[in-house]
Amino acid sequence: MEPEQCSLENLGLILNKTQLRKFWKDKKVLITGHTGFKGSWLSILLNFFGAKVYGISLKPNKKSALFNIANLQKKSNSFFLDIKNFKSLKHVILRIDPQIIFHLAAQPIVTLGYKNPRYTLHNNSITTLNLLDVIRNSNNLRSVIIATTDKVYGDSGKLHSESDTLHSNCPYALSKIIVEDLVECYRFNFYDNEKFRIGTARSGNVIGGGDWSKKRLIPDMINAWKRKSSLILRMPEATRPWLHVLDPLVGYMLYAEKMFVGNESYPSFNFGPNKNNICTVDRVIKKARKLLPNLKTSKEENPKFTETKHLEIDSSKAIKKLKYRNIWNIDKSIYHTINWYKGFYDGLNPYDLCIKDIESFFE
């Protein structure tokens, strides 16, 4: 049985749906990293609302990538290249001449950041730097959203707002703090605010169907369930601001629209769940077991690195300025995520499964 949904949230979403459909139809939108998990979902979402979607990314390195199995190459105009190549990136972006850019391209895995810090820091900073410099020559660009992370706030154990100091010793989080500083530098020194506006989006921990990344809770859970093996938990007591991938992506879209049509510039927004949906890894597992009763777990002994124990972000600014709402609570997020994977393993079309979730999200 599907968990119930709050009527107030439904009301806000109905208004957002009408607004989104009206604004995004025929907009020329570029997504960097469109072959990744969030990039693939954003491509589907923008297509759903009638946008003209372009993507720049490396080719996905897994046959199981959502971009491949959902056949998204037919749904967007794709350019496969390394964004660290400034000349190639400049040529393609000036050729596309987008109105809106979502910069999602990054090495996004925390554990890989510890395993290969140089690659993570170099990749995430240089790809962003190249983009920031290229768009100085754009003609029709109006809005740019740079995705960073809630992890830029570090592990203080407090509720974080956008004005808090950014600090972390985690290589992945540090790479995103560098991104935040690069954006601020270019915004202050090199961009005409009347021409286009740019901002950073800090999202909580996203879950959703079609994520196959290693060292992420849901993909590892699904793999363990499918193989009838034990899911190894690094930090079952760690708390995270969990939310379904559609929640922050709709927030990104509202953010881009606000800067496109408004007279104000907003440097950053948090996109996270309501306070009662911030919960431990162990609690997520207990909820998931209602749909995966045979799931087995064990705790990793002597983890090789220290992760943030507690993360909590305040989305009140986005609620006030963007009319943003966290629509699916943790129960609905887990329900839709796990049922996506079950549908996939039952042979259902992955693209149709995503559309089904989008339609349910906007009911």
**Residue that the structure tokens 């306070």 belong to:** 275
Residues 84-103 have pLDDT tens digits of 999 999 999 999 999 999 99
Sequence-ordered list of residues with C-beta below 8 angstroms from that of 3, at least 6 positions apart, any chain = 329, 331, 332, 335
Sequence-ordered list of residues with C-beta below 8 angstroms from that of 5, at least 6 positions apart, any chain = 327, 328, 329, 332
70 vs 278: which has the higher pLDDT:
70
pLDDT at 15 over 60: no
Output the pLDDT for position 158.
82
Work out the pLDDT band at 14, boundaries 50, 70, 90: low
- The helix (H) or strand (E) run that includes residue 31 is strand 28-32
Domains of the chain by residue range: 7-361
pTM for this structure?
Answer: 0.94
Work out the pLDDT band at 7, boundaries 50, 70, 90: very low
Q: Which of 7-16, 147-156, 287-296, 349-358 has the lowest mean pLDDT?
A: 7-16
Output the pLDDT for position 304.
66
Residues 55-73 have pLDDT tens digits of 999 999 889 999 999 999 9
Output the pLDDT for position 2.
59
Q: What is the CATH number of domain 7-361?
A: 3.40.50.720
Work out the pLDDT band at 148, boundaries 50, 70, 90: very high
Output the pLDDT for position 236.
87
pLDDT at 124 over 90: yes
